[in-house]
A and B are shown apart, each in its own frame.
Chain A
Amino acid sequence: MTTVSWSSEPGTSRGPGPFLSVRDLSVRFSTEDGVVRAVDGLSFDVEKGTTLGIVGESGSGKSVTNLTVLGLHDPAHTEIDGEIWLEDQELVGASGSTLEKLRGNRVAMIFQDPLTSLSPFHTIGRQIGEVYRRHRGANRKEARERAIEMLERVGIPQPATRVDHYPHEFSGGMRQRAMIAMALVCDPDLLIADEPTTALDVTVQAQILDLLKDLQQQFGTTIILITHDLGVVASTADNVLVMYAGRAAEQGTVREVLSKPRHPYTWGLLSSMPRLTSSVDVPLVPVRGTPPSLLSPPAGCAFHPRCDFSQLVGSDLCFTQRPDISPESGHGDACYLTLQQKRDIRTGDTKEQA
């Protein structure tokens, strides 16, 4: 075992690997109606300085996974299994104070709606500064100066004045910039952005995404970008993880997944998205049906009730056995169709469309 670098907990170090590694993660919530399996056996890695886009419908477990990384679930109602390694530190089962020191410091998060996610009762400067004070022990004055510096960094004009304003005095895009400033104030290694542009105008969306990219290039921040917008993923991420019903459906680089998608669910996502290059006569095809209930997910592949190709597999594998992602590294997907079958289906599709 190598010497523990900064972690105070003995026995938590391990050899070099990906920056963030989630292994066989399961998150279950006990509710009045039963146990919700929000995340069920999910594994993925993120390399340092890269962006992972996590895509999926509402309720596919994207946000839950990332809230788990930050340890933000109420332990009284949540059961978490598996491992989450941030470099050499295990986050599942880490103590509350360990996670508190981590949050906002090494791992930061920005949320979907900056209006409701910022405290309406405190000035922007105070909200940014208090993170710095908490984690860096800065005094009031230093924190304020840092807040102004951060506001400037995220492109807010007149930061010295704006620092004393309240969130409701900011526009939507400015609020999200302030939110990003707040997340980055302690130079975190990992930034989790949970649908950071969903609540914003399209033009502002592009600005915010550019800002995130710029900051990543400057500071080498690792980013997890949660979104349901494949366009955002295409323009921002290096790697993609497609989630369905709390599991990985497909993963790979952006190029691989978007240009050679393998999982029928990914096909569905892509064909439900309008493209500038395709003819206006080509109808958008939504994925039929609705996402499964996570209280009682379907047996076998969770996607089979919505899948058009399950009969091609031959046996009743799709209905009885849950597929795992394969291959485990590189471009992989969780589907029993053979690569040849998928290629045939896809070329058929393109012929039909042409």
Chain B
Amino acid sequence: MTSFLVRRVLGAIVILILISLITFYLFYALPRDPARAFCGKICPPATLELVRHNLGMDKPLFVQYWLWLSAIFVGRDFTQFGPCPAPCLGYSFATQEPVFDAIVDRFPVTLSLTIGASVVILSFGILTGMLAAWKVGQPLDKIASSSSVIGASLQIYFVGPLVVFFVVDTLGLLPRPSYVQFTEDPLTWFVHLLIPWLVLSIIFTANYTRMTRSQMLEQLAEDYVRTARAKGMSGRSVFFRFAWRGAMIPIITIFGVDLATLLGGAIITEQTFTLHGIGELAVQAVQNTDLPMLLGVTVIGAAAIVFLNIVVDVLYAFIDPRVRLN
């Protein structure tokens, strides 16, 4: 287990370095000059040179990359903006605020969206899927199966405003989605994020309902489930203790992939509900040719996805003893 974690963390670091390298390279492949954008509309060549120097853009690419990378661990002194203590991701070209602070500020929004939605999606999806499998062929199964197809074919930017209009504006059941610090007031945090979670779950739950159902039915036909019945185990225990374990494995695998989709798709979710999360930050960074911000958002986002996938892998081994983590 320990050696597995060490290996995975080392692997994750390699992945993050590769991702930052690619982002770095792609950014300079753009035809736009960030120094010129930073310098403003009227920009004499001398000022442009100064800006270049201050941003560290007059150095060779790999030196620039090295400075960026080492700043994360030891900090860096920017002549123009002053010292930037570790972990330093530089200063935004556009807003001059420290990138790290901006991300720390926005990240909880996206994280709350993703984790809350995951909990709703998994519990709804697995529950309805198990019910459908338990009552296979009966009305309940048909309702669960067909309504999940409808859910899967909807889009956030379509359902989102509709739900906000009816639930918030017309019925006044819930407050308009916004972000309140969880540490400040958990209940307000919960109530204000409920609509985005539910809307996300309408769209994603369908997959889990269908997958849980088919996986359960598949597992129920397995030899070891027959053995459990031949041992005299009750129908319920066969269903929940034996078949369930096997059915969860592919579901967790897919969930690892969906987590990345949820985080990556945060841009759309945040736009739909006007939440100021990391997705919004990423879009602005691209629009502003804001290299430090873009790098920061990309690397932190990637780190979150990589970390959550390690958690998923550990969970996987926890459910299936055949998966040995070393």
What is A's interface to B at a CB cutoff of 8 Å? 70, 72, 96, 100-105, 108-109, 111, 113, 116-121, 123, 130-131, 134-135, 166, 168, 179, 182
- Chain A residues lying within 8 Å of B320, measured Cβ to Cβ, are 120-121
Contacting pair B226 A120 (CB below 8 A):
no
Selected contact of B233 from candidates A117, A134, A166, CB within 8 Å = A134
- Chain A residues lying within 8 Å of B232, measured Cβ to Cβ, are 100-105, 131, 134-135
A116 with B230: in contact, given A121-B246, A121-B320, A166-B321 (CB under 8 Å)? no
**DSSP majority for the B interface?**
helix
**Is B223 close to A, CB under 8 A?**
yes
Contacting pair A108 B228 (CB below 8 A):
no
- Chain A residues lying within 8 Å of B22, measured Cβ to Cβ, are none
Q: How far is the CA of A296 from the CA of B319 in the complex (A)?
A: 45
Contacting pair B231 A182 (CB below 8 A):
yes
Q: How far is the CA of A100 from the CA of B228 in the complex (A)?
A: 11
- Chain A residues lying within 8 Å of B321, measured Cβ to Cβ, are 120-121, 123, 166, 168
A111 with B231: in contact, given A120-B321, A120-B322, A166-B321 (CB under 8 Å)? no
A117 with B223: in contact, given A166-B322, A168-B322 (CB under 8 Å)? yes
**Is B53 close to A, CB under 8 A?**
no
What is B's interface to A at a CB cutoff of 8 Å? 222-224, 226-235, 242, 245-246, 319-322
Beyond A100-B232, A100-B234, 19 additional pairs, beta carbon < 8 A: A103-B229, A103-B230, A104-B232, A104-B233, A109-B230, A111-B226, A111-B230, A116-B222, A117-B223, A117-B224, A119-B224, A119-B228, A120-B224, A120-B246, A120-B320, A121-B246, A121-B319, A131-B231, A134-B231
Selected contact of A104 from candidates B223, B231, B319, CB within 8 Å = B231
Q: How far is the CA of A297 from the CA of B234 in the complex (A)?
A: 36
- Chain B residues lying within 8 Å of A100, measured Cβ to Cβ, are 232-234
- Chain B residues lying within 8 Å of A103, measured Cβ to Cβ, are 229-232
B151, chain A: closest CB distance, angstroms: 29
A108 with B234: in contact, given A121-B245, A121-B320, A168-B321 (CB under 8 Å)? no
- Chain B residues lying within 8 Å of A113, measured Cβ to Cβ, are 223
The 10 closest A-B pairs by CB, nearest first: A104-B232, A104-B231, A103-B232, A116-B223, A121-B245, A119-B224, A117-B223, A109-B230, A166-B321, A117-B227
- Chain A residues lying within 8 Å of B234, measured Cβ to Cβ, are 100
Q: How far is the CA of A328 from the CA of B53 in the complex (A)?
A: 105
Contacting pair B233 A72 (CB below 8 A):
no
- Chain B residues lying within 8 Å of A102, measured Cβ to Cβ, are 232
A119 with B230: in contact, given A111-B223, A168-B321 (CB under 8 Å)? no
A31, chain B: closest CB distance, angstroms: 15
B140, chain A: closest CB distance, angstroms: 16
Q: How far is the CA of A133 from the CA of B179 in the complex (A)?
A: 51
A319, chain B: closest CB distance, angstroms: 39
Contacting pair A119 B227 (CB below 8 A):
yes
When C-beta atoms are compared, the residue in chain B nearest to A134 turns out to be B232
- CB-defined A-B contacts under 8 Å, sample of 6: A103-B229, A104-B232, A116-B224, A121-B246, A131-B231, A179-B227
- Chain A residues lying within 8 Å of B245, measured Cβ to Cβ, are 119, 121
Selected contact of B231 from candidates A120, A121, A130, A168, CB within 8 Å = A130
- Chain B residues lying within 8 Å of A96, measured Cβ to Cβ, are 235
Q: How far is the CA of A130 from the CA of B233 in the complex (A)?
A: 9
Selected contact of A72 from candidates B222, B224, B226, CB within 8 Å = B226
B199, chain A: closest CB distance, angstroms: 35
Contacting pair A117 B226 (CB below 8 A):
yes
The interface centre, meaning the residue of A120, A135, A182 with most chain B CB atoms within 10 A of its CB, is A120
When C-beta atoms are compared, the residue in chain B nearest to A118 turns out to be B224
The interface centre, meaning the residue of A96, A109, A121, A130 with most chain B CB atoms within 10 A of its CB, is A121
